[in-house]
Structure 1
Amino acid sequence: MENKNEQVSWLSLPRKDQLFILFFVRFSEPVVKASIAVNLLERSLSTIRENHSHEKQTYLYYQLKSLDPSLSSPQIIRQSATLQTAFIVSQCISSLFLGKLSDSPKGGRKLVLLIGLGGSFVDVVQFHSVISCVLFGFIRHFYQALILYTLEGAFNGNVATVRTMVSEVVQEKRFQARAFVLLPMAFNVAVLVSPLMAGQLADLRGRYPDRYGDSQFLRKFPYAPPALVNGMILAGASLVVFLFLEETSKVVERRHDSGIAIGQRLKKVLCLHHFRKTRYERLSNGSTSDVVEGMPLMLEGDRDPETPPQAVKTAGEPQVRRKHTNILPLRRILTANLCLVLMAAAVQDGHIAVYSTLWPNFLSDPVIDDAHIKTPSQRRRIPFRFSGGAGMAPDDIAWSLALLDVLGLPMKLLAYPRITQRVGTLRTWRFFLRFFPLVYTVVPYIAVMPSMTPPPAGKHGFAVWALIMFSQALMVGCSTFTAPSQLVLINLASPHPSALARTNSISYLLTAIVRATASVVSAWVYSYGSAHGLTGLAWWLAGVVSVGGCLINLICQEGNGLEIWLSGDKKHRTPRRRLL
């Protein structure tokens, strides 16, 4: 087992250069997507102002309202869920094919990342050209928005590959808590940075007429600057991956990499080869069995964490050429434990998707009291029968959403690694899953909190914001500790190293389908409940589902990454199963 008294810090992480590149890749795609969403909001708001519409809803609400001002609030919520579903389904389908290519001797992890980054770059160009060509915004119909979201999802399939590479770069369990938490941290940083970047660069001519008023380029392409910056970020990520990211797939790691060769020459030219990064010392053979529960991908001699896989040699013996000539067939990947872990992960991602879909729409939904009901069924009967939402303005909703990222970053950076090192990954996952039902129970009551402003004005006041902050803080705490733990456990549940990328792709495909379905179903349930005096129905059903996820989690086990042995695996260290 892991030695929980051993101090592990961020500085002791192995292969920090490779982890930084993967962090940058994970950062680059969400920052582009979020930046595009802000540009879309700016254009949609200008269109609404031209049409003299003064409704205050969420960003996506504004986008869809600008396309058809006659849409009702439930219709817009359903369209919002449909767009998110199109993005998720397209993304998960592309991930499945990319996962197969990633495990193939003709492909590899690095090639798949470059394909995904290149596709995202093309998507930015397509997005910009549409913006510049359409008269009143970049789309005129909902179906055009649906196509755009579908294309965007198809070019964002790198998530599963990045997860796979993190588990292969950092193979020792004592470092994995910090390594895997980097992925959600990258997403949080992207969501925080991108709105600021896009907000400062969009429509420079309109916001700074004295400085940019004479620019013909900005007159014709007012939203070109953010698109250009997005393209630079993706191009930079692609270049860094090509030059400095090492292949981690065992079936292609010894193939000549021209990008790495060029990168090494650049390092020599820039004299970077004189500087050595922080290293951690290899454990002695006597303490290895007591302290480190090695991942099955490692050889008998522990690898120097700063040494590229192409240069690995076993201590005291000649270099052993590892070949996974036998690749685990797809039909044998789905072991009992992997199925249980995937089921628990799918349930978790499903109810979190419900929260992500309903939260901004619920806060933007107009306030409805007994004086403003449309049907008798909407009459309030506390504690379960009430309609409407909080009726908040976009700025207030943005602040509520920002709480997730502001609170989440320090918790991921400081709290999560310490707790998982102390109690273990599986126990951390199990414990914090128990608080999701509480979140879904209390959120709907924001609609009935006393407000400083009378209906139908949006809700404001201490009680309203206290419940919002409590709900968001609890959601941040649950997500911070469960999301990275889920990633680690899925990787450990992979039955064989040759199936690692496909395991992550299957996981991403399954959870994406569940997220897409949950978003659509929750939107329909919310619309029905709001029309019949049951605004909390969708939330409370999500709470019931989360309880089911907690029960499934109780029978999951922490795997070892090598549950199935194939011929040619005799050079691997004998794994020991750790049960919690």
Structure 2
Amino acid sequence: MAKGAKRALQLPKQQLLILAVCRFAEPVAMTSVYPYIPEMIQSFNVRDDKVARWAGLMSATFSLSQCLTGIAWGRASDRFGRKPIIILALTCTMISSILFGFSKNLLWAFITRSLQGLSNGNVGIIRTAVAELVPQKELQPRAFSIMPLVWNIGSIFGPSFGGSLVHPVERYPKIFGKFKLLKEYPFALPNLLISILFMCGITAGFLFLHETLEEKKSHRDYGLLLGKFLTNSCTRRSPRRAWSNVEESDPFLSGLSSELSTPVSGSSPAVKLLKQSPGWAEVFSGQSNINLVVYTFLAMHSVAYDQLLPIFMHYPVQSIQDSDVHLPWKFAGGFGIDSNRIGLLFTFYGVFGMLIQFFVFPPFARRYGVLNCLKACCLTFPLVYVATPFTALLPTDSSRQGIMMLLMLIKGFCGIFAFPCSTILLTNSAASLKILGTLNGVATSISAIGRAAGPALAGATFTKGVDIGYVVISWWTLALVAIVGAIPVWFLVEMEGFGGDQDEDESDEEEEEDEEEGGGGGDGDDAKASAIPAAEARSRKSSAPSIAEEAVEDDEEMPESRFLTPATATTSQSPSRRQSLQLRRVSSPIGLGPGIIPAGARRYSSDLGATRSGLGVGGTSYY
């Protein structure tokens, strides 16, 4: 494999790592509330049998609020760039999380929880940035597993923070006994500590994250300049060129080019084309619609299961000798454990998920395909949900918690595979990269409806179930939702994504390198002449699509007598592309005055003269 092809199959690890740092605080903040939400609601003088309903409504409030702003965050990232919107969303989420920790009543908790949902727009934006960094299908399982891996690592720390640091004055009187603020607000400490993680992510993003939106890459980024200034004193290596996809042939002054020059990406037609807002018909294609339905149902039952588990495990134990118990269906007991133990179980859950995400998912997805993995997971979810309530019938605490841990690991394994697979399929179903930010914003909003409906439905059915003595109702309802959500998976098609054109570019580079090394078997003139069409092909690909099509059409209208010789025209391109690239070259001496070169000729050189200053400096023209 040529050097260019090898470079194309390398992950941009530095940028993915920075995105992971930016993302890390959000899962910690989101999962830290799972262990202590039942205790928080109880502290608001809510009866035990009503806790599940209010917890479900609180989760629904978060998701519905996220639904209202998901598309807006995505559209804003398409217009202003990924980086500024990521930083803004992180800042808003940090502030709303701190406010949630200072809740003293249900109204304040619901208001701040809704603010968290409104500001939580980074899910789709970071997913879009990953897709723009890694368009190659071969690398997508690894790249798209990084953000779920970050979520799993965050889910290790989150429940530990939430379960062990609430009521700090009572639990750790020697350390926090003198802090009156923490005594008055017993749920504030976890959120205050998590804000430090948010600040680390915001700082890392501002100083080191590169913009991935094509239109904004060439803009001056003062955060990157400051980051380079701060890191220059810590390294002896020569400063690298800033990461950019801008071609070297772009003009110094965008929009200026001579009549004999190739249109460049900075010219006004290309800029107008890039700034056109994509239509909604492009966003809602057939496969994208099916993927959105699948992702919504997946979020609906998976998130509801994770949020119902702490309520189920916190609910008091019911003895099987109770007169209201009629096995095997009628029983209404839980585990009766506190938030500290619940947080410990979720920590093991997160550690397992991290290992599976890092070591198992990428090779499995590459070997069996993301669609096949998604189908297998969707068939497993209902089985786990049906079996979960029967763990409460086991005789001892250790047996109940052990079997529950096993079911949680199976469910976690399926969730770790299902969400990245669904994300990859949704990304590859997009019509173009221009609409990817909007599509992921739509996915965030629509899936938020599922994340709202799932916990609300699970909480309401759990409350109703324990009232009538059938706790299985809530879990079997989730199983039914999972079965319905598995049906559209069988109508999905695994599409190619956006890496095809880049692979062709790399094959062109490979052939050009072989010809320069003399591997073609011809003389030097033939090798140089055959290398020119490849260079021209890359120049055309870097231009706006409409401009490139015009150039190809102009070339196809030229008579065959004006093409190069067959030996020179032999390349590895497709027949139609070879025909469009067979041009006659003539010298372009200094001046480029009338009569020097044929009328209608196009100049393909370094653009140093005709494009940047309007004065020819020599080179080669083709017609």
TM range (shorter): 0.7 to 0.9
Indicate whether 1:308 and 2:243 are aligned.
yes
Offset at 1:149? Answer: 0.9
| 2:545 is aligned with 1:569 | yes
1:386 aligns with 2:386: no
Rounded Cα–Cα distance in structure 1 between residues aligned with 2:313 and 2:280? 44
What corresponds to 1:355 in structure 2? 305
- Pick one of 347, 350, 361 that aligns with 1:402: 347
In the superposition, relative to structure 1, how do residues 213 and 434 fare at CA in structure 2: closer, same or farther (>3 Å)? closer
Give the Å deviation of 1:215: 7.5
CA distance 1:221–1:64, change in 2 (3 Å): closer
Q: Deviations over 1:210-239 (max 9, x none)?
A: 677678998899888755543332222222
SS class of match (2:135) = coil
Gaps of 5+ in 1: 39-57, 132-137, 277-305, 453-459, 575-580
Other-structure match for 2:421: 485
1:125 Cα offset (Å): 5.2
Alpha-carbon distance in structure 1 between the residues aligned to 2:179 and 2:478: 51
Q: Residue 389 of structure 1: CA displacement?
A: 2.6
> Structure 1 residues 398 and 243, CA, compared in 2 at 3 Å: closer, same or farther?
closer
Structure 2 counterpart of 1:14:
11
What is the CA distance between 1:29 and its match in structure 2? 2.1
Picking from 14, 30, 48, the partner of 1:72 is 48
Equivalent position of 1:45 in the other structure: none
Match of 2:222 among 258, 261, 266: 258
8 Å Cα contact 2:218-2:246 kept in structure 1: no
Partners of 1:392 and 1:260 in 2: how far apart? 49
Of 339-348 and 220-229, deviating more is 220-229
Displacement of 1:66: 1.1
1:457 counterpart residue number: none
Equivalent of 2:38 in 61, 84, 99: 61
User: In terms of mean alpha carbon deviation, does 465-474 or 339-348 score higher?
Assistant: 465-474
Instruction: Please name the residue that 1:432 is paired with.
Output: 377
2:160–2:347 CA contact under 8 A, matched in 1: no
Structure 2 equivalent of residue 554 of structure 1: 490
1:43-58 pair list within 5 angstroms: none
- Mean Cα displacement is larger for which, 89-98 or 202-211? 202-211
Aligned to 1:233: 197
Task: Give 1:357 deviation, angstroms.
Answer: 2.7
Distance 2:204 2:20 in 1: 12
Q: What whole-Å deviation, never above 9, does each CA across 1:486-521 have from its counterpart, x for those lacking one?
A: 111111111221110110011111111111012111
Find the aligned partners of 2:440 and 2:25 in 1 and give their Cα distance.
20
Structure 1 residues 90 and 224, CA gap change in structure 2 (3 angstroms)? closer
CA contact 1:328–1:496 (8 Å) conserved in 2: no
1:344 alignment partner in structure 2: 294
The reply to whether residue 28 of structure 1 matches residue 25 of structure 2 is yes
Aligned 8 A contact 1:380 1:533 in 2? no
Q: CA deviation at 1:314?
A: 8.6
1:351 Cα deviation from its structure 2 partner: 1.2
User: For the Cα contact (< 8 Å) 1:202–1:225, is it kept in 2?
Assistant: yes
Q: What one-letter code is carried by the residue in structure 2 that aligns with 1:60?
A: I
How far has the Cα of 1:385 moved from its partner? 3.2
Q: Secondary structure at the match of 1:251?
A: helix
Instruction: Give the match for residue 577 of structure 1.
Output: none
Rounded Cα–Cα distance in structure 2 between residues aligned with 1:209 and 1:467: 35
Q: 2 CA distance for matches of 1:531 and 1:227? A: 34
Structure 2 counterparts to residues 452-531 of structure 1, below 5 A: 452=396, 460-462=397-399, 464-531=400-467
Change over 3 Å in CA distance of 1:336–1:365 after alignment to 2: same
1:53-202 residue pairs with structure 2 within 5 A?
A: 59-68=36-45, 71-73=47-49, 75-104=50-79, 107-124=80-97, 126-127=99-100, 131=102, 138-139=103-104, 141-196=105-160
Displacement after TM superposition at 1:118 (Å): 1.9
Contact 1:444–1:536, Cα closer than 8 Å, also in 2: yes
* TM-score of the pair, normalised by structure 2: 0.70
The residue that corresponds to 2:552 in the other structure is none
Q: In structure 2, what is the equivalent of residue 446 of structure 1?
A: 391
Call closer, same or farther: CA 1:311–1:269 in 2, change over 3 Å. Answer: farther
**Is 2:163–2:339's contact at 8 Å kept on the other side of the alignment?**
no
1:201-216 paired onto structure 2 within 5 Å? none
Letter in 2 for 1:14: L
Q: How many residue pairs were aligned? A: 488
- Displacement of 1:251 in angstroms is 2.6
Counterpart CA distance in 2 for 1:396 and 1:200 is: 9
Is 1:328 matched up with 2:303? no
Q: Does the 8 A contact of 1:333 with 1:503 survive in 2?
A: yes
Inter-partner Cα distance in structure 2 for 1:202 and 1:273: 46
Deviation at 1:473, TM superposition (A): 1.9
Alignment match, 1:416:
361
Give the secondary-structure state (helix, strand or coil) at the position aligned to 1:248: coil
Distance (whole Å) between structure 1 residues aligned to residue 280 and residue 497 of structure 2: 16
Cα distance per residue 1:381-421 (max 9 Å; x no partner): 42x33333333343443333233212111111100011111
Say if 2:265 and 2:544, in contact at 8 Å, map to a contact too: no
Asked whether the equivalents of residues 24 and 150 of structure 2 are also in contact (C-alpha less than 8 Å), the reply is: yes
DSSP 3-state at the match of 1:392 = coil
The 1:370–1:325 alpha-carbon spacing in structure 2 relative to 1, beyond 3 Å, is: closer
Change (3 A) 1:320 1:148: closer
Determine if contact 2:29/2:158 at 8 Å carries over to the other structure. yes
CA contact (8 A) 2:99 2:112 kept: no
Give the one of 469, 493, 501 matched to 1:533. Answer: 469
Instruction: For 2:449 and 2:78, locate their aligned partners in 1 and report how far apart those are by CA, in whole Å.
Output: 22
2:600 matched residue in structure 1: none
